[in-house]
A and B are shown apart, each in its own frame.
Chain A
């Protein structure tokens, strides 16, 4: 179990630029989640994949945000035309997906901290 990895760990960008983050889940996990965490708050759900299928998206995920998991392994989260309000920690998590698997714990990566200037 090598854990969930995320790249980059930090990203500083100027308002209006596009950014892309990568998440590599634990290899045997078929569920992958993206969350956003701002200072002093708990993580907020953005989107969720089971294998390559994006099954759920939060209303927080505006049309400037897009996520993919093309081969059911790693995932990317892209933010277009970044705004200062996008500054946050973006967390990726993965879990086993089994029948009734909502009870399977999610394992989190270290996060990507985005700063939009």
Chain B
């Protein structure tokens, strides 16, 4: 079975400060990991993914994520937060065996204060 945990319902950070949104996963086989962002009244937008290779992956809008196999984590990071980054962030996983659909975490609301 696949599962994703996002332990923080909300993360608050001041504009200009670095941000981290945490994600841990459980999956059979090797993981394919994704981050999506959801703005109010809009669909989910793809940010970045890890398939294989370099553990640090870079994505849209200056976001990056670090894959850690031993800790089964895939935390989302950004060196300097913007107010416009305030949104709902979802981590998702697919294993390379079995089902072909994403399993999502429950989401973390990021609030960036000016």
Contact = CB atoms under 8 A, between A and B. Distances in A.
Interface stretch (B13-21, B39-47, B61-69, B75-83): B39-47
Nearest to B41: A110
B22 interface: no
Contacts of A100: 96
B100 A103 contact: no
B45 to A, nearest CB: 8
Interface in B69-103: 90, 92, 94-96, 99-103
Interface stretch (A12-20, A35-43, A65-73, A78-86): A35-43
Interface residues of B, number: 25
Contacts of A93: 44
Contact of B104 (A43, A56, A105): A43
Given A91-B43, A109-B43, A110-B42, A103 B32 contact: yes
Interface string A72-114: 0000000000000000000101000000101101111111000
B43 to A, nearest CB: 4
Given A42-B90, A106-B46, A56 B99 contact: yes
A105 B100 contact: no
DSSP class of B's interface residues: helix, strand, loop or mixed?
strand
A4 B94 CA distance: 21
A103 B43 contact: no
A42 B101 contact: no
13 contacts: A42-B107, A45-B101, A45-B103, A48-B101, A100-B96, A102-B95, A103-B51, A105-B46, A105-B49, A106-B46, A106-B102, A108-B36, A111-B43
Interface of A: 4, 31, 33, 35, 40-45, 48, 55-56, 58, 91, 93, 100, 102-103, 105-111
Interface of B: 4, 32, 34, 36, 42-46, 49, 51, 90, 92, 94-96, 99-107
